[in-house]
């Protein structure tokens, strides 16, 4: 698509069902490498990222079947055996999160060769925390010509993982590796995002023993094998927040369904402060603005449950309509 033409000036009215969360779905797909049995994921988003990861998983040995069920789009992933432990750059570069296949490959297969994901335009996003966590679980890590060579021929072992700062990706990656490690793993200063809890819930359905997900301390008691399971991907809080802000910008009344308002409470608080009417209900929320002037507010992005960095650009656009001076402070990414 070369361009998008937008004719403005219309109020937004109606109901929008929210999709499954991309940031959760791609880590849940990676979890399919941990078992030879089928993993059925429902409420799946259909996006380029999930298709890219599906191709990588197929290269590693997974069978990936997409379909439409009564619970919406679903994906069935079955990895009866790992046919390759190699994730090349041409696939990993298309999506950073595909780097997270390293932990499951190492946990189940004892070795892996995975490309480093490369740079990122929003700022430095190094994977050193991921690698240090895997080393804490007994993995031998070597870096050579842009690839991570990881080995644990006798399997991973439980260990203490203390993150110097909160990292969602490193927390998820450690979870994916530690569930098959021998012994107990304790993560401290872990990320608390809903996507972490969603991954832990799915892994527990598969037979893992994870406690504390959603808190800064997560404990994983390793098991020898995992089984198949069926799991519904949680609703996408960034999509929820983006549509909520669109309704606030254009005015009107929009009902967002199949989602949870508590996932974006920090955003709702700021929207209400700015003069937007937000009402929560059982299956989502309703956003209403009927021509009233918006007030400028200040906010700072923070790790969950703070204001999400992925919503600050949209909120900045909203604040261009507000009376007064608003200030947004970004603390997650430098660019």
Is residue 120 among the annotated active site residues? yes
Tell me the backbone φ, ψ of residue 194, rounded to 5 degrees.
-55, -30
Task: Find out whether 19 and 239 touch, Cβ atoms under 8 Å.
Answer: yes
Helix, coil or strand: residue 201:
helix
The CA distance from 48 to 27, in Å, is 15
The β-bridge relationship of strands 229-232 and 217-221 is: unpaired
Q: Catalytic: which of 120, 143, 272, 313? A: 120
Half-sphere exposure of 1 (CA within 13 A, CB side): 3
Strands 252-257, 284-289: parallel, antiparallel or unpaired by DSSP?
antiparallel
- Residue 151: CB partners within 8 Å, gap ≥ 6? 106, 110, 111, 139, 140
Active-site positions read: 120
């Amino acid at each position: 698509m070369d361009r998008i033409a937008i004719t403005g000036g219309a109020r937004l009215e109606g109901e929008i069902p929210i999709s499954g969360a991309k940031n959760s779905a791609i880590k849940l797909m990676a979890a399919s490498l941990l078992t030879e049995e089928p993993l059925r994921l429902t409420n799946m988003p259909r996006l380029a990222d999930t298709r890219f990861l599906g191709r990588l998983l197929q290269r590693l040995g997974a069978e990936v079947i997409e379909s439409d069920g009564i619970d919406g789009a679903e994906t069935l992933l079955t990895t009866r055996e790992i046919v390759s432990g190699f994730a090349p750059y041409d696939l990993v570069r298309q999506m950073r999160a595909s780097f997270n296949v390293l932990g499951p490959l190492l946990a189940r297969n004892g070795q892996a060769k995975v490309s480093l994901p490369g740079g990122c335009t929003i700022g430095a996003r190094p994977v050193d925390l991921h690698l240090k966590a895997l080393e804490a679980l007994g993995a031998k890590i070597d870096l050579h010509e842009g690839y991570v060579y990881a080995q644990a021929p006798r399997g991973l072992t439980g260990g203490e993982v203390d993150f110097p700062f909160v990292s969602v990706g490193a927390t998820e990656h450690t979870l994916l590796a530690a569930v098959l490690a021998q012994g107990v793993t304790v993560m401290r200063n872990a990320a608390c995002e809903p996507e972490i809890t969603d991954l832990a819930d799915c892994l527990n359905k598969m037979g893992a023993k994870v406690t504390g997900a959603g808190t800064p301390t997560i404990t994983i008691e390793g098991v020898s094998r995992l089984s198949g399971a069926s799991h519904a991907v949680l609703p996408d809080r960034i999509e929820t927040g983006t549509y909520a802000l669109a309704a606030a910008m254009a005015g009107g009344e929009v009902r967002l369904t199949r989602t949870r308002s508590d996932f974006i409470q920090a955003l709702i608080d700021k929207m209400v402060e700015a003069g937007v009417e937000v009402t929560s209900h059982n299956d989502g929320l309703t956003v209403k603005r009927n021509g009233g002037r918006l007030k400028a507010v200040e906010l700072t992005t923070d790790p969950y449950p703070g204001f999400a960095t992925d919503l600050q650009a949209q909120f900045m656009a909203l604040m261009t309509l507000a009376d007064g001076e608003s200030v947004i402070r970004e603390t997650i990414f430098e660019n």
